[in-house]
Each structure stands twice: as C-alpha cells, then as structure tokens.
Amino acid sequence: MSLRVAALVPAYQAAAHLGEVLLALCALPSPPHVLVVDDGSRDATSEVARQHGVQVHTFAANRGKGHALIEGFKLLADYDAVVTLDADGQHPPECVPDFVAAAEAGADLVLGARELTPDMPPARRFANAFSSAWCSAIAGQRIADSQCGYRLYRREVLQRTPVQASRYEVETEMVVRAARLGFRFSHVEIPTVYGDETSHLSPTRDVPRIVGMMLRLTFEPRPRA
C-alpha cells in the first residue's frame, strides 16, 4: 500500500542550511508534502522556507523542539506517516525513501541510526551508546540510536503515544512510550554528517532534561497489556 507521507522540519535559526534541505526533499522521486515549523527564529528561516513553496508555520517566540514537533504532528494529522528531519543538513533527505520503504514493509516507527565514524567525537559516541542502551532497556526493544531525530512515525503512533516533554527530551519520551505500547520498530542506517552548523542543544539545560526524562520513564508504572 502506498503511504501518504509528509516531511516535518523543525527549524530554529536555520536560514543558512534550510534551503539545501528543502531542495533535496523536493527533488526526491516521490517528494513528500513538506512542513517547516519555525521555532521563533530571528533570522530568515521562514522566508527561506516560503521561497521554496513549502508549508510554513511560525512561532512568535522560541518554544523548543518538542513544541515544534507536536504542533507539526497536529497540522499533518491527515497523513499516513510523518518523517521528521533536522533543518541543518545533518539528516540527508535522500534517505527518506528508505524510511518509507521500511514503513511500507510493516514498521510503525522507523528510526535513523547514525554510522559510527572515526570523526564522531568520543564524548558524543559514548553518550549516544549509553543513552541508546538505557532506552533499549526501559523500552523493552532495541533502539540503536535514541537521540537521532531522523524518524518516520505512522499516524497510529502519533495518535496513541502521549507525550509531556517540550524540548529535546520529547524524542526520548516518544520512542520509549511507543515501544511500550507494542509498536513495531525498524532502523535505517544514515550517514553521520558534521558541518559548520551550530547545535542548539544546551549541555546545561537540555542534557539534564533528557536524563530526567529517562529516569522518569525508568521508574514510572508500565502500561498494562
């Protein structure tokens, strides 16, 4: 069955790289509908998105990646599946067909898994491995890369998975809760891309939130089968 697919691109201060991402998405053999949620950027992020003819939703002020994703999911509720990818070019749009193929083969949630390359900083490599092992343990099924935001969610996952987080910890919460509800996972290996973009993840603000969410999920009661 052919899925109606949308691509959701949460964006903050992304004018420098967003255009390349949108060009690549629109050049795919079966291009998805594209929605950019501008999370209160002060640069030309929204203008760049509109120049490429995609749907744009703009927050008046920065609210966090979690809010951007949740608002985007609401706006795309009529689609069979939503692919999420970052606006900074670290998630190659050329991989979207692989995510769609995995969903059409039966997966409910398709997770991107970044290749472990020599240029990945050791601290990031350790953090990714540790958080993925922890998430796998509390989710009850393998999660190869818990912090990769390149994903495909089927509509049923978005409808049935409750979330409370508002920033970067939302992706950890969604994957664990979806696993506990029994949704079928698949993985797509993606290249690890590092460019000149600036990460908006704050080690002092967002990392404690992610750890706090994982602790909360570790100790909360599991849903009954």
Cα angle 220, 161, 9; round to 5: 120
Q: Tokens representing 176?
A: 């664990």
> What is the identity of the amino acid at 121?
P
How far apart CA 59 and CA 10 sit, in angstroms, is 11
Q: What string of pLDDT tens digits covers the 225 residues of the chain?
A: 589 999 999 999 999 999 999 999 999 999 999 999 999 999 999 999 999 999 999 999 999 999 999 999 999 999 999 999 999 999 999 999 999 999 999 999 999 998 866 666 777 777 778 889 999 999 999 999 988 999 999 999 999 998 876 677 888 899 999 999 999 999 999 997 765 555 556 666 767 877 887 888 888 877 665
Please tell me whether residue 43 adopts helix, strand or coil conformation. Answer: coil
Residue 38 has which token pair?
């501008």
Quote the pTM value. 0.90
- ∠ CA 96-19-45 to the nearest 5 degrees? 115
Angle formed at CA 128 by CA 151 and CA 90, multiple of 5 degrees? 50
Q: Where do the domains of the chain lie, and which CATH numbers do they carry?
A: 5-219 (3.90.550.10)
Token pair of 215, please?
A: 């602790």
Q: Tell me, what's the pLDDT at 197?
A: 52
Strand, coil or helix: 67: helix
